[in-house]
Amino acid sequence: MKPFSELLDRLLYAPARTSKLALLEDYFRTVPDPDRGFGLAAIAGTLSLRVAKSGVIRELVAERTDPELFHWSYDFVGDLAETAALMWPEHQADRDWPHLSEVVVAMDELPRGQLTKQIAAWLDTLDATGRWALLKLATGSLRVGASAGLARAALARYGKVEPALVEEAWHATAPPYLDLFAWLDGRMPRPEIAHAPVFRPLMLAYPLDDEQAQRLDLAEYSAEWKWDGIRVQVVAVRGQVRLYSRTGDDVGPAFPEVVERVRFEGVLDGELLVARGGEVASFNDLQQRLNRKAVTPAMLQDYPALVRLYDILFDGEEDLRGLPFLERRERLEAFVARERPEGMDLSPLIPDSGLDELDRMRRSAREGGTVEGLMLKRKDSLYVPGRPKGLWWKWKRDAHLVDCVLMYAQRGHGKRSSFYSDYTFGAWQDGPDGEELVPVGKAYAGYTDEELKLLDRWIRDHTIERFGPVRAVEPRLVFEVAFDSIHPSSRHKSGVAMRFPRIARIRWDKPAAEADRLATLIDLMA
């Protein structure tokens, strides 16, 4: 447990990706099996544990500390695990720290009552950093600035192999990844993937700006719409079917009808959308089905899923990734004509056009609300994992910009846990007592570290109410907010929800009364 807690602590404060990769690589090299595999799974989010409820942790801390002091401390720190770890009384333990594998097995197997006592006993054994790591693991709130993708990149560095090989082998193994490490250590061959429904790393596109577009030879590129859904990979091998997101997460349980309708063998690349009667719905409709472990019959009926196909990686067992894009497109069209996959269709190619016409189409994409812009793909491009520059471009529609007023601020996670870094902002509307603000979005990106410090200080100085880790502030500070699109939402008081909102500018100079009204956002939605 000690090496794992030290790793988490260092990852949290590591300043750059290269530093995080080095820390992970060192962990894999120095920690034995199965602890290193369980640590990898915890960081990558593939460790399935029965988590302890936050109320249980609060009760444990209340038994050992002053409840009022804990309440005020938690309100200031904003993170349960960090507060509990710092306040837990130090003990002179008679035994060594538990191994990470011991903790994982106990959390999985012990009855709930015994597990609570065991957590308390572990907390007595550990130091503050160990307690923090244990509580993060136990409550399922492990956010330390590392992701599954970063962990797999570190595995590739550790084993001195191509990242794409790790990506494929990853889905053929499971925690604690004994076979995966045995391969990377040179003790056995790579885990067998030929007949397993494994994820293949996707080919991604670079953003294209207007200046770069002017320099492209459009004769070398095919154009198609960039649909506003989520990128998926459909994998069907010997009766086994998986639906993967762009990060390699299996999203099949949230879209069982897509998986159940597959009758072919192969690997297809496309966009997951909601469509009714052949008409694609907005991303807001798709969002009703995302991140669900199970869906109701009503969900299946009201938000029917469609996969719009872009590319084909495997036709049966034949690997097509080494073919140029136009040849793969011909194979995809032949595949769809032959297999007639239910609940899937082809994303149409746009006839060859000049730059001005493509630009007009890109800008008009906003009118339908179901596409984000255009994709430009070199006709001779092979299907290459990652983001090779110059082969695929995404030319997105311009962002909307509106001025909104900061209403609430919440502490962030990880290294931002001491700062108010998550912001809810609103627009004006007429209320029963005059003009009032209604929340229209939330953002936690778009500002610099220096701006974050200024914002944090401003929020502390202008707080009017506290709600645990959230503060309501005086309605005085204006943000210029950029967002891709806006949709109706029954879950928000304003009736609207922004897509990808981010802070474009902090308008220290602008009076709050001059910020935009809700009617302006509704007009944009219309």
Q: What is the length of the chain?
A: 526
Distance CA 233, CA 5 (A): 35
Pairing of strands 392-396, 206-207: parallel
Phi, psi of 157 (to 5 degrees): -65, -40
Phi, psi of 129 (to 5 degrees): -65, -40
First to last CA, the chain: 55
The per-residue DSSP string of 337-404 comes to HHH--TTEEEPPEEPP--HHHHHHHHHHHHHHSSEEEEEEEETT----SB--TTTEEEEEPPPEEEEE
Alpha-carbon distances, residue 304 vs 138, 231, 299, 313, 317 (angstroms): 36, 17, 8, 25, 30
Locus of tokens 């929020």: 459
Residue 226 annotated to the active site: yes
Q: Measure CA 59 to chain center.
A: 32
Closest residue by Cα to residue 441 from 380, 377, 485:
485
Neighbours of 516 (CB within 10 A): 20
Locus of tokens 């750059």: 16
Contact (Cβ atoms closer than 8 angstroms) between residue 270 and residue 308 = yes
The per-residue DSSP string of 206-271 comes to EE--HHHHHH--GGGEEEEEEESSEEEEEEEETTEEEEEETTS-B-GGG-HHHHHT--S-EEEEEE
Distance CA 110, CA 113 (A): 8
β partners of residue 280: 275
3-state helix, strand and coil shares in percent for the chain, rounded to the nearest 5: 40, 25, 35
Distance CA 168, CA 385 (A): 11
Q: Collapsing DSSP states into helix, strand and coil, what is residue 1?
A: coil
Distance CA 262, CA 234 (A): 9
Closest residue by Cα to residue 456 from 515, 405, 410, 404:
410
Distance CA 290, CA 285 (A): 10
Name the catalytic one among 20, 136, 226, 396.
226
Distance CA 264, CA 241 (A): 10
Which residues are known catalytic residues? Answer: 226
